[in-house]
């Protein structure tokens, strides 16, 4: 191999600097709005025909009216209704418009933090995608990709941003539906179908507790700061009492029948029973009609109770119930409560703090309740979680990828057979890389990246999110494979056989060698120094991401993966295109230059490889023999003949030589001695010495 001098090194470093300096600009959408304000947001764009907007006291939406004051529809800001996190771990802040017939009149992304849209795919593609919802009914089933269910409306995903559009689809539909329910143009039963169990035999209080039909919120006097006593300040039991076996048990037969007859569709009875040294009812409802001490929270929605929807309840009707000092029946109107979803009872306790005549301390406590299936059977929303829909959409590719990875794993499990013939091994290795490049990279667009390491680092800091990792089926599957194989055989199984970009660059170097061009290599002193650059790149990228996620994603463009498999390189910024071309050009004349010197993902996996228990088979004789060293393209051999697991790409050529009696010197010598008709003492001693040398290290 020819050696490459300092000019090539300078060219490579210049390309790195050029790529960092000419990254295309990012647009994150400006400041993040926390409240709907149509004076500063383009509400008219999502509700055509509206010329003025008015707020509704206590509501998270605004009413849009035409020039003559007629009702045009309503506008909502997504983050005031739902908190569906996208790939970045942050929601896509979206304006949604709805008309009186339940049609989505428009949607617009106000702010996002999606990395692929900040330094990859043009934002215009997301805006085009969002605009396609105009004119669709909020209650229709709209899915991303292919659906086998009759009646579903299919929308194509944005290539390379599947997780983002799945979250965006869920956000728009969920906001439109909740807005429709709140303004009364959509029935909750249309979007959250379910039914209460009609068991007519009342349950005992003990069974209500054992079945999980009652939630409980206990606050001690010590927790309220009213001394050190563990006696209850309030001890509250609560539930939705629509089911006969629950309602009749708590309210009584006659009262239950009467109150149920007063309920309109999508309205519910909530029962709260309390005991303790204080009251959960508070005093403000007496003055202003609102209960100030208790409310229900479901998702981002707060449900307050008014005196007009309140009926007094002295205690539970069932005989085995404990004694309660107070109780209440609340009517929850307007379809605000989804009985099939978990909700919280929130208690806002207050006490005189002795700092002033009217000064009080307030403490908020909450407890959740999810009605069991013995009380309420929910059919659920037709809106699956984005990660579930992603797996359903890519079921075929996931299955094929898993089968392929199992095949590659089998090559290493049965290495004795796969390395038995050196020529066959080379052909197998080349074929596997070709399939990995074309299948995993070009077709599936499943190239693992350092950005997934960013995600792990951010999850450790902010909280683990399985839904985020599961939202990319191909990447999730590959990382399971990477984790298992790297811990057993080292990073080379992925980097050397499966990585789409690594496979492409090695195939390029093989192509130029086949055409007669001699591969070039850096001098040893430069090689030993530059191979540590990837660790520096990894540390700097992770640190930058934790400091500023957008900046970290921008500098992660040192990886040419997006330009190769997700977004056409020639359609990106000039610097990114030049960087991509430079790496391709160097890969034509050098073996895997990016993988060996710059790849931050490879650097991270190299650290794991340091502890691999199953490297290539080695003999005592291997420390002095240089046959494998001369043929190692990844230059993984140390000067003492041992293999550096951080550099080894597991091509298995050295293990094939290890088994080859026609190449491995001690095996070849043993074979020649054993074919002799007679072996004298000197040759016998030599044969015994060779036998010692061929033993495994």
Residue 251 has pLDDT above 90, yes or no: yes
Distances (CA, A) of 511 to 257, 430, 501, 506, 690: 82, 11, 15, 9, 40
Distances (CA, A) of 628 to 87, 412, 428, 617: 45, 19, 19, 12
**pLDDT band (50, 70, 90) for residue 501:** very high
Q: Tell me, what's the pLDDT at 317?
A: 93
Helices within 322-472 (DSSP H only): 386-393, 395-413, 415-418, 422-435, 450-462, 466-470
Angle at 376 between CA 373 and CA 378, to 5 degrees: 85
- Where b means 16+ CB within 10 Å and e means fewer, 10-48 reads eebeebbeebeeebbeeebbeeebeebebeebebbbbbe
Q: Tell me, what's the pLDDT at 359?
A: 44
Q: Other CB atoms closer than 10 Å to residue 328's CB: what's the count?
A: 19
Of 188-192, 297-301, 512-516, 523-527, give the lowest mean pLDDT range.
188-192
Of 432-441, 462-471, 587-596, give the lowest mean pLDDT range.
462-471
Q: DSSP character for 441?
A: I
Q: Tell me, what's the pLDDT at 44?
A: 93
Residue matched to tokens 């990792």: 469
In DSSP notation, 199-219 reads --SPPPHHHHHHTT-SEEEEE
User: To the nearest whole percent, how much of the chain has pLDDT over 90?
Assistant: 43
Q: How many Å apart are CA 207 and CA 214, to the nearest integer?
A: 10
**Across residues 576-583, what is the average pLDDT?**
92
Q: How many Å apart are CA 444 and CA 273, to the nearest integer?
A: 56
Q: Tell me, what's the pLDDT at 682?
A: 56
3-state secondary structure of 89: coil
Q: How many Å apart are CA 174 and CA 178, to the nearest integer?
A: 6
Residue 677 has pLDDT above 60, yes or no: no
Q: Tell me, what's the pLDDT at 480?
A: 95
Please tell me which residue, 596 or 388, carries the higher pLDDT value.
Answer: 596
Q: Tell me, what's the pLDDT at 390?
A: 79
Of 90-99, 348-357, 579-588, give the lowest mean pLDDT range.
348-357
Residues 6+ apart with CB under 8 A from 97: 43, 46, 47, 48, 64, 73, 74, 75, 104, 105, 106, 107
Residue 673 has pLDDT above 70, yes or no: no
Q: How many Å apart are CA 211 and CA 288, to the nearest integer?
A: 37
**pLDDT band (50, 70, 90) for residue 548:** confident
Q: In the predicted model, what is the mean pLDDT of the chain?
A: 83
Structural domain boundaries of the chain? 43-191, 194-378, 394-614
Could you read off the pLDDT of 631-659 as tens digits, one per residue?
788 888 887 778 888 999 999 888 888 77
Question: 557: closest CA among 531, 578, 536?
Answer: 578
Angle at 23 between CA 22 and CA 25, to 5 degrees: 115
Residue 72 has pLDDT above 90, yes or no: yes
Q: Do the Cβ atoms of 634 and 519 come closer than 8 Å?
A: no
**pLDDT band (50, 70, 90) for residue 111:** confident
Q: Which of 28-32, 53-57, 496-500 shows the highest mean pLDDT?
A: 496-500
Residue 280 has pLDDT above 60, yes or no: yes
Residues 6+ apart with CB under 8 A from 261: none
**pLDDT band (50, 70, 90) for residue 5:** very low
Residue 15 has pLDDT above 50, yes or no: no
Residue matched to tokens 């090539």: 8
Residue 695 has pLDDT above 60, yes or no: no
Q: Do the Cβ atoms of 51 and 44 come closer than 8 Å?
A: yes
Strands 232-240, 268-275: pairing is antiparallel
Of 13-22, 172-181, 406-415, give the lowest mean pLDDT range.
13-22
Q: Tell me, what's the pLDDT at 470?
A: 83
Q: Tell me, what's the pLDDT at 8?
A: 46
**pLDDT band (50, 70, 90) for residue 286:** low
Residue 146 has pLDDT above 70, yes or no: no
Q: Tell me, what's the pLDDT at 253?
A: 93
Q: Tell me, what's the pLDDT at 121?
A: 67
Residue 593 has pLDDT above 80, yes or no: yes
**Across residues 266-293, what is the average pLDDT?**
82
Could you read off the pLDDT of 75-84 as tens digits, one per residue?
999 999 888 8
Of 14-18, 429-433, 538-542, 551-555, give the lowest mean pLDDT range.
14-18
Please tell me which residue, 349 or 534, carries the higher pLDDT value.
Answer: 534
Q: How many Å apart are CA 548 and CA 546, to the nearest integer?
A: 6
**pLDDT band (50, 70, 90) for residue 357:** very low
**pLDDT band (50, 70, 90) for residue 43:** very high
**pLDDT band (50, 70, 90) for residue 554:** confident
N-terminal to C-terminal alpha carbon distance within the chain: 30
Q: How many Å apart are CA 595 and CA 495, to the nearest integer?
A: 8
Q: Do the Cβ atoms of 236 and 272 come closer than 8 Å?
A: yes
- Where b means 16+ CB within 10 Å and e means fewer, 429-443 reads beebbebbbebbbee
Could you read off the pLDDT of 180-199 as tens digits, one per residue?
988 888 887 777 778 899 88
Helices within 38-195 (DSSP H only): 43-46, 115-118, 123-131, 162-183, 188-191
Residue 155 has pLDDT above 70, yes or no: yes
**pLDDT band (50, 70, 90) for residue 25:** very low
């Amino acid at each position: 191999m020819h050696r490459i001098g300092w000019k090539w090194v300078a060219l490579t470093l210049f390309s790195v600097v050029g790529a960092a300096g000419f990254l295309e600009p990012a647009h994150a959408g400006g400041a993040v709005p926390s409240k709907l304000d149509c004076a500063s947001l383009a509400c008219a764009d999502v509700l055509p025909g509206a010329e003025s907007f008015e707020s509704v006291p206590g509501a998270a939406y605004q009413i849009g009216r035409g020039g003559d004051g007629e009702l045009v529809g309503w506008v909502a800001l997504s983050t005031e209704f739902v908190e569906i996190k996208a790939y970045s771990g942050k929601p896509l802040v979206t304006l949604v418009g709805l008309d009186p017939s339940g049609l989505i009149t428009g949607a617009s992304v106000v702010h996002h933090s999606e990395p692929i849209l900040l330094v990859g795919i043009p934002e215009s593609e997301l805006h085009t995608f969002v605009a396609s919802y105009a004119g669709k009914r909020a209650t229709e089933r709209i899915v991303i990709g292919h659906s086998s269910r009759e009646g579903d409306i299919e929308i194509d995903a944005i290539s390379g941003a599947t997780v983002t559009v799945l979250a965006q689809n869920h956000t728009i539909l969920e906001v439109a539906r909740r807005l429709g329910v709140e303004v009364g143009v959509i029935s909750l039963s249309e979007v959250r179908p379910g039914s209460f169990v009609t068991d007519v035999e009342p349950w005992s209080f003990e069974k209500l507790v054992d079945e999980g039909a009652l939630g409980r919120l206990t606050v001690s006097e010590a927790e309220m700061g009213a001394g050190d006593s563990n006696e209850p300040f309030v001890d509250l039991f609560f539930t939705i009492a629509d089911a006969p076996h629950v309602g009749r048990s708590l309210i009584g037969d006659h009262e239950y029948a009467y109150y149920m007859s007063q309920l309109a569709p999508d309205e519910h009875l909530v029962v709260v029973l309390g005991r303790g040294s204080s009251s959960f009812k508070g005093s403000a409802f007496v003055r202003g009609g609102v209960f100030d001490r208790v409310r229900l929270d479901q998702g981002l929605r707060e449900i307050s109770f008014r005196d007009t929807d309140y009926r007094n309840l002295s205690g539970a009707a069932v005989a085995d119930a404990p004694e309660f000092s107070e109780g209440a029946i609340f009517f929850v109107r307007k379809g605000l409560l989804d009985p099939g979803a978990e909700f919280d009872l929130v208690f806002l306790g207050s006490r005189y703090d002795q700092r002033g005549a009217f000064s009080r301390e307030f403490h908020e406590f909450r407890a959740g309740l999810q009605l069991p299936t013995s009380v309420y059977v929910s059919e659920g929303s037709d809106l699956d979680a984005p990660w579930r829909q992603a797996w359903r959409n890519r079921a075929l590719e996931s299955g094929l990828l898993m089968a392929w990875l199992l095949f590659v794993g089998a090559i290493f499990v049965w290495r004795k057979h796969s390395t038995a013939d050196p020529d066959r091994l080379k052909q197998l290795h080349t074929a596997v890389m070709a399939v990995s490049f074309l299948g995993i990279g070009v077709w599936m667009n499943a190239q693992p990246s350092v950005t997934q390491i960013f995600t792990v680092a951010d999850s450790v800091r902010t909280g683990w999110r399985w839904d985020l990792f599961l939202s990319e089926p191909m990447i999730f599957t590959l990382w399971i494979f990477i984790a298992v194989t790297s811990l057993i055989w080292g990073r080379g199984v992925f980097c050397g056989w499966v990585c789409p970009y690594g496979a492409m660059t090695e195939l390029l170097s093989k192509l130029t060698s086949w055409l007669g061009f001699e591969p070039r290599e850096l001098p040893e002193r430069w090689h030993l120094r530059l191979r540590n650059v990837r660790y520096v790149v990894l540390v700097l990228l992770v640190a930058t991401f934790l400091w500023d996620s957008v900046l970290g994603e921008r500098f992660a463009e040192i990886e040419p993966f997006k330009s190769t498999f997700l977004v056409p390189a020639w359609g990106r910024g000039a610097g990114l295109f030049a960087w991509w071309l430079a790496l391709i050009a160097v890969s034509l004349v050098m073996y895997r230059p990016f993988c060996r010197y710059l790849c931050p993902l490879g650097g991270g996996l190299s650290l794991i490889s340091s502890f691999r228990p199953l490297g290539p088979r080695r003999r005592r004789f291997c420390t002095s023999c240089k046959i494998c060293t001369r043929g190692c393209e990844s230059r993984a051999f140390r000067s003492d003949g041992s293999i550096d697991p951080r550099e080894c790409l597991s091509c298995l050529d050295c293990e094939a030589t290890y088994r080859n009696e026609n190449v491995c010197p001690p095996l070849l010598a043993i074979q020649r001695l054993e074919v002799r008709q007679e072996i004298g003492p000197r040759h016998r001693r030599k044969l015994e010495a060779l036998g010692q040398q061929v033993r495994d290290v």
